[in-house]
Chains A and B, each alone.
Chain A
Amino acid sequence: AQSVTQLDSHVSVSEGTPVLLRCNYSSSYSPSLFWYVQHPNKGLQLLLKYTSAATLVKGINGFEAEFKKSETSFHLTKPSAHMSDAAEYFCVVTPLNSGNTPLVFGKGTRLSVIA
């Protein structure tokens, strides 16, 4: 079984400061891990994904995440927040190389960016 815990339901940062959204996972199998972003009243957009290659994964819009097996973590970071980053972020897990298995979503972290 897989599960995801997003440690913060809401994170607020000032524009230009670093962003850290925390995610811990549990998986009986080698995992694939994803971060998705959802802007208000919009669908999901894939930010980045880990699929057992490099442990530091770079995504779109300056985001990156590091897979740490020893800590079962996959935290999302960005060096400098923009106003446009304000959105809901979901950490997601699924078994590696199992495209026909549903994704398991965390509860989400709402990121607010203050001018």
Chain B
Amino acid sequence: GAVVSQHPSWVICKSGTSVKIECRSLDFQATTMFWYRQFPKQSLMLMATSNEGSKATYEQGVEKDKFLINHASLTLSTLTVTSAHPEDSSFYICSAATGTVPYEQYFGPGTRLTVT
């Protein structure tokens, strides 16, 4: 099956710094990638939809200037958490869509961000 990777899998950063998380589709091209956020013991919440070569579409309540998303190629999307604060600590998960039959989406393993 298709594989999606995320890097790093775990990161600790200091308050005020920025962190970049990469999401890669390893063996297929993904026209669309999605970024989700999961707080402890809660479900996944969609943050934004990322289409290759265009600006991301953010869900209501998600600050686009704080969570910068870039989808520069068909196999890579990045999420940058700018000026991170402790409340940004969370599990960030990406998924990549094939966009063609059989219209599958594949999830990355997630990135755990801790802001101190």
A interface, CB within 8 angstroms of B: 32, 36, 41-44, 51, 90, 94, 97-100, 102-103, 105-108, 110
Residue of A nearest to B9 (CB): A43
Complex interface: chain B residues within 8 A of A103 (CB): 34, 46, 95, 105
A44 to B45 Cα, complex, angstroms = 14
> What 9 A-B pairs are tightest by C-beta distance, nearest first?
A99-B103, A43-B109, A100-B32, A99-B97, A44-B107, A43-B110, A105-B44, A105-B43, A107-B43
Q: How far is the CA of A106 from the CA of B42 in the complex (A)?
A: 10
The 8 A CB mask of B25-43 against A (1 = contact, 0 = none) is: 0000001101000000111
A102-B100 contact given A43-B110, A108-B42, A108-B43, CB 8 Å threshold = no
- Number of A-B residue pairs having CB atoms within 8 Å of each other in the complex: 50
Q: Which residues of A contact B112 (CB under 8 A)?
A: 41
Are the C-beta atoms of B42 and A107 separated by less than 8 Å? yes
Contact of A99 among B44, B99, B110 (CB under 8 A): B99
* Chain A contact residues, majority secondary structure: loop
Q: In the complex, how many residues of chain B place their beta carbon closer than 8 angstroms to a beta carbon of chain A?
A: 27
Q: B49 to chain A: which residues have CB within 8 Å? A: 102
* Chain B residue nearest to A6 in the complex (CB): B43
Distance in Å: Cβ of B25 to nearest Cβ of chain A:
13
**B43 to A99, Cβ gap below 8 A?**
no
A96 to B51 Cα, complex, angstroms: 20
